[in-house]
Amino acid sequence: MMATIQKELEALGDAARVAVLQRFFKTGPGEYAAGDRFRGIRVPVLRRLVRKYQNISLAETRRLLQSPFHEDRLLALLIMIRHYYREDRAVREKIHHFYLEHTRFVNNWDLVDASAPHLVGHYLEDHPSDTLTRLAASGDLWERRIAIMATFHFIKKNDFGETLRIASLLLDDPEDLIHKAVGWMLREVEKRETNVAEAFLQSYYRNMPRTMLRYAIERLPEARRQAYLKGTIAAASKGAEPMADRNPL
């Protein structure tokens, strides 16, 4: 089966798109995805292949996930997600742990963002653990991004505690890709409960990397955005709960 999949992926490649993707995903020397290789396959095409190859074994999925080609790894993750939601608790547990054991292959932001809310966030909803804390403390950029992106699952259920907790752990992270992810998740909290997001921001915005803050406040009224950026923010209107003296952990 793997030979068949690899042959089809190779045939679907578009050489004209490869250079564009390599620039977009920062694959040059010293960049965050240095050396990653692309076939030039569009994501909707890969999603159609998920349906076609959804019944491959976990062993075959592992081989696909270990491919040097970015699209192959994304296809493997999408197949894993499909398996995860179709199977029972025992198989879900197996897939979750398999994912965490192979994070070295989940090594670009789109791979993380497509998979972490499902294969980590969803699983941890019913299995509380210190997994997110451990990932947030990892020396690996992608594991730290997995930690914050996994909380998107909780956000969609209007449960914001884990997002705020992991965000507080990543405030001093040196990587721009983490700043963007944390800011994005805080913005998603703000979409659903502005007062919760602003309570957190009012406690921490002065210590946030600028990119993180800009992402987090993107949807706020312009005058309020500027007040955050200038450090002159006043307390939010009713309902905001001050957090300055609270340890979010």
Domain that holds residue 85: 1-132
126-157 residue pLDDT tens? 888 899 999 999 999 999 999 999 999 999 99
Confidence at residue 214, expressed as pLDDT on a 0 to 100 scale? 97
pLDDT at 248 exceeding the cut of 50: no
The proportion of the chain whose per-residue pLDDT surpasses 70, expressed as a percent, equals 94
Same domain for 70 and 120? yes
Mean pLDDT of 151-171: 97
Q: Are residues 19 and 120 in the same domain?
A: yes
Do 157 and 52 share a structural domain?
Answer: no
Task: Kindly state whether residues 124 and 3 are assigned to the same domain.
Answer: yes
Whether 137 is in a domain gets the answer no
pLDDT in tens, 38-66: 999 999 999 999 999 999 999 999 999 99
- For residue 139, being part of any structural domain is answered with no
166 and 222 within one domain = yes
Number of domains in the chain: 2
Answer yes or no: is 25 within a domain: yes
Residues 46 and 127 in one domain: yes
Annotate 126-194 with three-state secondary structure.
CCCCCHHHHHHCCCCHHHHHHHHHHCHHHHCCCCCHHHHHHHHHCCCCCCHHHHHHHHHHHHHHHHHCH
Q: Are residues 191 and 219 in the same domain?
A: yes
Q: Which among 159, 169, 50, 198 has a CA at the least distance from the CA of 143?
A: 169
